[in-house]
Chain A
């Protein structure tokens, strides 16, 4: 039971942290909860489909279909997060502060909703399909010992959701004047981390050169399996043994979105 709780927790926490940050970042968007829920449900349905077709997906592209799917999912999520952050830097603050801009807020809020729907859906899809496969595998091989596995799975899900909710609740306590900066930085790190993971999958599929792997090794200091390593991995893409290409992709993503935010922000204030 403990084993399954830990594995499920590891999968769930990643999606839960992403959802926690996005839920906080879109707190002023009308009907936000409905769209968030729609994202979770879409993601769950999608993950069941992916789990069922793992066989077919793996066999695609000469055995590396899984990596291509994963990096495509991550790539789309990075683009959406970049869009969210740059848009927020140019309009978000003004909209949230000025009540007059309600009409515009609703219109712009629709863009935010679709971002919420897609990113939450993709996060659940990615982590959910692995959870489904794992639980299915255990159930199929153990037969009679099913209920402790389910119990462990439920414990893992609850613990993961709890951590995500704690992050969300913590972010809501951040004072308004720091709030946009705080969620902006978190989304920026999230996007850079996802871009680095996407690069990692493409390296694993031999579609990108690794440019020295690993370029450094901090696994003795901070293993990814540890609680801190896991949190840092989910929040900022921490990888104890990154390839050179991952570091480049991370830095370029960070710089590009950061620059976009800065430009959008300064064009607003001028």
Chain B
């Protein structure tokens, strides 16, 4: 299902004077939904550990945490950080990326939860 930022208006409205921003966001709806890629967390490991994505395109990463405990998806290379509750799926947008290798890890289990996204 393509993401519709207009759904977000309710939350933004709660913040008070962000109405104009929310309205602006609805105009930009068309930019969403490019390539979708999936990662899975199981036993504090990412699968696949190496994910190949096209470069220069916006990517929608869908990360499923099959463990019972929460994990934080973190990547300095991608400048991304997001908590994924146990037994749930989270969405993270990255890119468009220049070709290269982008390391990421699970901050709560850094010894085992390591992975890399390869943009080519």
* Interface bin, chain B: 35 or more
Interface string of A220-242 (1 = CB under 8 A from B): 00011100000000000001111
B7 touches A62 (CB 8 A): yes
Whether A28 sits at the interface, judged by CB under 8 Å, is no
Q: Quick one: given A58-B85, A62-B1, A207-B5, are A72 and B15 in contact (CB under 8 Å)?
A: yes
Which of A58, A59, A76, A138: most chain B CB closer than 10 A?
A58
Task: Report B11 CB to chain A, min CB distance, Å.
Answer: 5
Whether B38 sits at the interface, judged by CB under 8 Å, is no
- Chain B residues within 8 Å of A140, by CB: 68-69, 86
Interface string of A70-89 (1 = CB under 8 A from B): 00100110010000000000
Instruction: Determine chain B's interface SS by DSSP, over half rule.
Output: mixed
* A206 to B18 Cα, complex, angstroms: 17
- Chain A residues within 8 Å of B11, by CB: 60-61, 65, 68-69, 72
A130 touches B72 (CB 8 A): yes
Task: Report A137 CB to chain B, min CB distance, Å.
Answer: 4
Task: Report A63 CB to chain B, min CB distance, Å.
Answer: 3
Q: Within the complex, which residue of A76, A204, A224 is in contact with B92, where a contact is CB–CB below 8 Å?
A: A204
Chain B contacts with A in 43-98, Cβ cutoff 8 A? 44, 58, 60, 62, 67-72, 76, 79-80, 82-93
Q: Which residue of A lies closest to B111 (CB)?
A: A3
B93 touches A58 (CB 8 A): no
Q: Within the complex, which residue of A63, A213, A239 is in contact with B91, where a contact is CB–CB below 8 Å?
A: A63
Task: Report B106 CB to chain A, min CB distance, Å.
Answer: 10
* A63 to B2 Cα, complex, angstroms: 11
Whether A214 sits at the interface, judged by CB under 8 Å, is yes
- Chain A residues within 8 Å of B80, by CB: 204
Q: Quick one: given A133-B70, A138-B108, A204-B93, are A76 and B16 in contact (CB under 8 Å)?
A: yes
* A136 to B67 Cα, complex, angstroms: 13
Task: Report A134 CB to chain B, min CB distance, Å.
Answer: 6
A137 touches B108 (CB 8 A): yes
Q: Quick one: given A205-B93, A209-B28, A224-B76, are A66 and B12 in contact (CB under 8 Å)?
A: no
Task: Report A229 CB to chain B, min CB distance, Å.
Answer: 10
* A240 to B70 Cα, complex, angstroms: 26
Q: Which residue of B lies closest to A51 (CB)?
A: B70
B60 touches A206 (CB 8 A): yes
Whether A113 sits at the interface, judged by CB under 8 Å, is no
A58 touches B110 (CB 8 A): no
Whether B25 sits at the interface, judged by CB under 8 Å, is yes
- Chain B residues within 8 Å of A136, by CB: 69-70
Q: Which residue of B lies closest to A69 (CB)?
A: B11
Whether B17 sits at the interface, judged by CB under 8 Å, is yes
* A107 to B62 Cα, complex, angstroms: 51
B32 touches A54 (CB 8 A): no
Q: Quick one: given A60-B11, A61-B8, A241-B79, are A79 and B16 in contact (CB under 8 Å)?
A: yes
A-B contacts besides A67-B82, A72-B15, 6 pairs, CB < 8 Å: A62-B3, A64-B3, A64-B8, A137-B86, A206-B60, A207-B25
Interface residues of B (CB under 8 A from A): 1, 3-5, 7-8, 11-12, 14-18, 25, 28, 31-32, 44, 58, 60, 62, 67-72, 76, 79-80, 82-93, 107-110
- Enumerate 5 A-B pairs (CB-CB under 8 Å) in ascending A order: A58-B90, A68-B8, A133-B70, A205-B8, A214-B79
